[in-house]
Amino acid sequence: MMRILFVCHGNICRSQMAEAMFKDLLKRKGELENYYIDSAATSYEEEGNTMYYAAKDVLRKHGIEPGNHHARVIVKKDYQEFDYLIGMDEWNIRNMLRVFGDDPYHKVFLMKHFIGEKSEIADPWYTRNFEKTYEELRSSLNGLYDYLTQL
């Protein structure tokens, strides 16, 4: 079973959106049972909170169930338990590496890596543009799926 962890700052917008969207994509492809998908934060600020309402709204607009995930913070053992640890921006990557200590198995990726870009997923908490974040995630998650199915 492939294990993937999506990570952002608070785990109430981008990483939870990515988790719900990737689960939906895998379910539509009939492959959800082959994956374990989770999400986490690099900050304690939102620990225990559910997805931000505007993120839920944009997912529902696109026919995706947001789920009932509660924000949690990454821990060192996540590095051993997951095959891919995917950050939404460079700050997430730096904080992930601070927690993990290093990335000897090359498991840590920037989300847009899977579409050949080095840019970051826009943080809708600040931009207030949840639709743009949805579109960036949709493209990147399709790229991730293509990447994983070519392994």
Q: What is the mean pLDDT of residues 116-137?
A: 96
pLDDT band at 124 (very low <50, low <70, confident <90, very high): very high
- State percent of the chain over pLDDT 90: 99
Residue 112 pLDDT greater than 90, yes or no: yes
- Domains defined for the chain, CATH in brackets: 2-144 (3.40.50.2300)
CA 140 to chain centre: 10
Residue 56: its pLDDT value, please? 98
Residue 42: its pLDDT value, please? 98
Q: What is the mean pLDDT of residues 125-150?
A: 97
Judged by DSSP in three states, 44 sits in coil
* Distance of alpha carbon 138 from alpha carbon 17, whole angstroms: 10
Q: Exposure of 71 by Cβ count < 10 A (0-12 exposed, 13-18 middle, 19+ buried)?
A: buried
Question: How do residues 45-90 score in pLDDT, each as one tens digit?
Answer: 999 999 999 999 999 999 999 999 999 999 999 999 999 999 999 9
Among candidate residues 46, 48, 66, the one with its CA nearest the CA of residue 57: 66
Residue 17: its pLDDT value, please? 98
Task: Identify each DSSP E strand in 9-110 by its residue range.
Answer: 35-41, 84-87, 108-110
**HSE-up of 123 (CA within 13 Å, CB side)?**
14
Residue 151: its pLDDT value, please? 81
Which amino acid is it at 11?
N
Active site members:
8, 14, 123
